[in-house]
Structure 1
């Protein structure tokens, strides 16, 4: 299967490390012009350096609708098109699992802002461009937490990722008439960033063994495994696939 994106304009959010970096590298290596978005300026610079001259960096908080609209408008004006959007920005923002009574309104809202509202705002911003060109790909990166429970124990994270899956299905039906597909990748646990490294360490040897025993392939994946699924959803091989959620988790 030969997947190429020569000349395609791609936006990847949460591109400073982990899945976002692997996804950016995969697109760039296949000829795409990739616009990297994140709040982490240093991380963005590292990703851009790894990917070469076909990348452009944008400091962007996806939970800020005004900034999202301005950034996407600038990208569309620069490129004349937006072919592919990958909503990868997310995470737990340094939070840890706590009893529901201890969760503040800001704790709840901040996780929703980056994991769910950000995906909505980005899709909302690219939709007019994709409708005009009568084509587009939107790929959301959720989590196994959105299909089951979160290993983190964070209520807002599990809820936001489940909401993102619902958003995927709804937008697939709304935008399909314009030949825009909307799909979702739900990763299992992958050691991809400082947060997941802390989670892995916190499990201890016994917890790590238990986690691996619950995976059919008996091993953890890597960020490139997630990027590979994104490449498929973004490619012509997925022309008649929309509204789908694929778990990339080694088998559960």
Structure 2
């Protein structure tokens, strides 16, 4: 299966490291014009260096609807099309699992802003362009936590990722008449960024062994495994696939 994106314009959020960086590199090596977005300016610059001259960086907080609208309008003005949106921005924003009675309103909302509201705002912003061109791909990066429970015990993270899966299915039906597909990748645990490295170390040898034992393939995945599924969803091969959630987790 030879997947290329010649002449295609791609937007990726959360591209400063981890899955987002690898997804950006995967599109760049397939000859796409790539727009990478993140609040982490230093990490975004590093991704930009790895992706090459057809990539443009945008400092963006996806939880800020006004900033999202302005950034997407700028991208649309510079491109003939917006072909693919990858809503990858997310994470636990430095939080750790705590009892429900200790969670503040701010703790809860901060995680929802980036994981769920951000995906909604970005999808909302690209929809007019994709409708006008009568084509488009939206790929959301959720989590196994959205299908089950969060390994970290963070209530807002599990809830926001489950909400993102619901958003995927709803938008697939709303946008389908314009030939816009909306799909979701739900990664298992992957050591892909500083947060997951801290989580891995906190498990200790016993916890790490237990995690691996619960995976059918008995090994952790890599960011490239997540990017590969994104490439499929974004490609012409997935033209009649929409509203789907695919777990990329080594088998559970």
Structure 1 length-normalised TM: 1.00
SS in 2 for 1:10: strand
For the residues of structure 2 that align with 1:199 and 1:77, how far apart are their CA atoms?
A: 41
Partner of 1:187: 187
Partner of 1:110: 110
Once the two structures are TM-superposed, the CA of residue 7 in structure 1 deviates from its matched residue by: 1.3
Partner of 2:140: 140
Partner of 1:21: 21
Partner of 2:92: 92
Once the two structures are TM-superposed, the CA of residue 54 in structure 1 deviates from its matched residue by: 0.7
Partner of 1:234: 234
Once the two structures are TM-superposed, the CA of residue 80 in structure 1 deviates from its matched residue by: 2.2
For the residues of structure 2 that align with 1:34 and 1:206, how far apart are their CA atoms?
A: 41
SS in 2 for 1:138: strand
Partner of 1:82: 82
In the alignment, does 2:218 pair up with 1:222?
Answer: no
Q: Which runs of 5+ in 2 are unaligned?
A: none
Once the two structures are TM-superposed, the CA of residue 108 in structure 1 deviates from its matched residue by: 0.2
For the residues of structure 2 that align with 1:164 and 1:235, how far apart are their CA atoms?
A: 21
For the residues of structure 1 that align with 2:82 and 2:42, how far apart are their CA atoms?
A: 25
For the residues of structure 1 that align with 2:124 and 2:189, how far apart are their CA atoms?
A: 29
Partner of 1:201: 201
Once the two structures are TM-superposed, the CA of residue 43 in structure 1 deviates from its matched residue by: 0.3
Of residues 86-95 and 75-84 in structure 1, the stretch that sits farther from structure 2 once superposed is: 75-84
SS in 2 for 1:118: helix
In the alignment, does 2:40 pair up with 1:40?
Answer: yes
Once the two structures are TM-superposed, the CA of residue 81 in structure 1 deviates from its matched residue by: 1.4
Structure 2 length-normalised TM: 1.00
Partner of 1:250: 250
For the residues of structure 1 that align with 2:212 and 2:99, how far apart are their CA atoms?
A: 27
Partner of 2:159: 159
SS in 2 for 1:24: helix
For the residues of structure 2 that align with 1:34 and 1:10, how far apart are their CA atoms?
A: 5
SS in 2 for 1:37: strand
SS in 2 for 1:162: helix
For the residues of structure 1 that align with 2:45 and 2:146, how far apart are their CA atoms?
A: 30
In the alignment, does 2:169 pair up with 1:169?
Answer: yes
For the residues of structure 2 that align with 1:238 and 1:7, how far apart are their CA atoms?
A: 18
Q: Residues 77-124 of structure 1, C-alpha deviation per residue, up to 9 Å, x if partnerless?
A: 001210000000000000000000000000000000000000000000
